[in-house]
Amino acid sequence: MSHIRGRFKKPADKLVAQYTASLPFDKRLYRQDIAGSIAHAKMLAKQGIISAEEAGSITGGLEAIRTEIEQGKFEFKVELEDIHMAVESRLIEQIGEVGRKLHTARSRNDQVALDMRLFTKEAIADTIDKIKEFQLALLDVAEANVDVVMPGYTHLQVAQPVLLAHHLLAYFEMLQRDIDRFNDCLKRVDVLPLGSGALAGVAYNIDREFLAKELGFSRVSRNSLDAVADRDFILEYEATASICMMHLSRLTEEIVLWSSAEYDFIELDDAYATGSSIMPQKKNPDVAELARGKTGRVYGHLMALLTTMKGLPLAYNSDMQEDKEGFFDTEDTLLRTLVVVTGMVRTLKVKAENAVKAVERGYILATDLADYLVKKGESFRTAHEIVGKLVNYAAEKGKSFAELGTVEYKEFSTLFGEDVRKINIKSSLAARDVAGGTAPRRVKQALARARKMVGQG
């Protein structure tokens, strides 16, 4: 690194060089770094800061380096510290002294901020695509099982009957909010920091609007100190990724429950389950469990960066080098989880008959009986109390509601009549015919609307 060590009389200690190097992980930014450098060279030529010939030589050299990297022919030397110096050093080797002009009117501080913003924009686009694929999987399973009834739960206790499709659509809505959050994050990522220099701007007649257009940014940063010191956009991605992983974790937790012998609502495809080393009968939901577990990993990266950033004075500090590994792992973990869970959901088998049997347990129509009394003129609180006593009575007798006689019903309220026997699972579902409810008509409407939201239908 002698070309940037003019201030120093001796090289860094070997261990220090290894400790401070970010190249082992920031080499992942090579495409963004080269794209930013090409745009910068074009701008320098446009502004007459370097000649068009020099810019052409620099651009050609950078494109050749990109090809070298993609073909696996580029040697990443840790002593060059980071991807910026690795590319610049190779450029100087290729085209000579003119390569030293590339860094005119910029700093590694605004250069890395640019690279990370370009990378984050791509990460957001990839993430949204994967979320939409998962949404489509949920819709396909929901539509294939549109008439399947299952127990709805609160406190993990049987509550009211719902359609499985309605349950899956709840996750569709969560994922749609995740998409909205990522799109909202993109608005703040979409800001060009290049031209901010190390912290105070640059002393050259540059054209930042030209750079923004070349690199696909909608606007330029308004404050040079903020531009190089800001990592809010990474925190936002990681926070949104954490929420998305939380949603995936909730679903995979339910998949773990539903695939158990106690529930037996679904069976996982063999490709998304594993066996036991000693128990031949086992079919373990390892994929679901790992997705649930990796959620904590993503949370950790968010907390780590929040902790890193909380005590940093303006502007750039080397602490901020710690933004990358956690961010890269967050994106990788989220995308891989989305892909794997999408496949798992697409291939699972729904055991409709077992879900229906579960609906018949737990006096699931109790609320419908209370509503029946209310419609006959009883106050809801009193109706609630009456049905609570009716449940106790039925449980003591070991009877279901269907097994109770009309005379028994009347012992708890004279408002009960023969028409109480019309209350069943089908009538319970149909009664929830409100916007957002589980009535079959409403769920079919919601499925059609969801298809349109993902660009189908």
Is the pLDDT at 1 greater than 70? The verdict is no
Q: What is the pLDDT of residue 441?
A: 97
Residue 245 pLDDT greater than 50, yes or no: yes
- What's the DSSP call for residue 413? -
Same topology, domains 109-145+159-205+217-357 and 358-452? Answer is no
| pLDDT beyond 70 at 223 | yes
Question: Token match 């070309």: residue?
Answer: 3
Superfamily of domain 2-104: Fumarase/aspartase (N-terminal domain) (1.10.275.10)
**pLDDT at residue 17 tops 80:** no
Give the pLDDT band of residue 5 (cuts 50, 70, 90).
low
Average pLDDT over residues 160-181: 98
Q: Is residue 2 predicted with pLDDT exceeding 60?
A: no
438 phi/psi in degrees, rounded to 5:
-95, 5
Q: Spelled out in words, what is the top-level CATH class assigned to the domain 109-145+159-205+217-357?
A: mainly alpha
Per-residue pLDDT, 181: 98
Spell out the domain ranges in the chain.
2-104, 109-145+159-205+217-357, 358-452
* Residue 175: per-residue pLDDT: 98
Asked if 276 is an active-site residue, the reply is yes
Reported as a pLDDT band with limits 50, 70 and 90, residue 87 is very high
pLDDT for 3? 43
Q: What is the mean pLDDT of residues 3-32?
A: 81
- What torsion do the CA atoms of 331, 336, 337, 339 make, to the nearest 10 degrees? 130
> Would you call 107 a catalytic residue per the annotation?
no
- SS3 at position 104: coil
H-run or E-run covering 453: helix 440-453
Sign of the C-alpha dihedral computed for residues 206, 210, 215 and 221 taken in this order: positive
Of 331, 383, 427, which is closest to residue 129 (Cα–Cα)?
Answer: 331
Q: Are strands 349-350 and 266-267 parallel, antiparallel or unpaired?
A: antiparallel
At 238, list the tokens: 């990681």
Report CA-CA distances (Å) from 1 to 24, 79, 82: 17, 7, 11
Task: Report the alpha-carbon distance of residue 416 to residue 410 in Å, rounded.
Answer: 6
What is the DSSP annotation of 229-280?
A: H--HHHHHHHHHHHHHHHHHHHHHHHHHHHTSTTT--EE--GGG-B--SS-T
- What pLDDT does residue 20 have? 81
Catalytic residue among 51, 260, 276, 379: 276
The predicted-structure confidence for 181-193, as pLDDT tens digits, reads as follows 999 999 999 999 9
Q: For the domain with range 358-452, which CATH number is right: 3.30.930.10, 3.40.50.300, 1.10.40.30, 2.40.128.90?
A: 1.10.40.30
- Helix pair angle (440-453, 164-189), 10° resolution: 30
Q: Which of 2, 155, 277, 318 is catalytic?
A: 155
Which residues are CB-contacts of 293 (< 8 A; sequence separation ≥ 6)? none
Question: Kindly report the CA angle at 374 between 368 and 379, in degrees rounded to 5?
Answer: 130
Q: What pTM did the predictor assign?
A: 0.94
CA dist 319 to 33, 231, 249, 305, Å? 20, 11, 31, 10
Residue 203 has φ and ψ, to the nearest 5°, of -95, 40
The residues, ordered by sequence, that sit 6+ positions from 33 with a Cβ below 8 Å of its Cβ are 83, 84, 87, 111, 115
Asked whether residue 234 carries a pLDDT value surpassing 70, the answer given is yes
Residue 9 pLDDT exceeds 90 = no
Confidence band, pLDDT 50/70/90 cuts, at residue 32: very high
The predicted-structure confidence for 115-156, as pLDDT tens digits, reads as follows 999 999 999 999 999 999 999 999 999 999 999 999 999 999
Which pLDDT score, from 0 to 100, does residue 405 have? 94
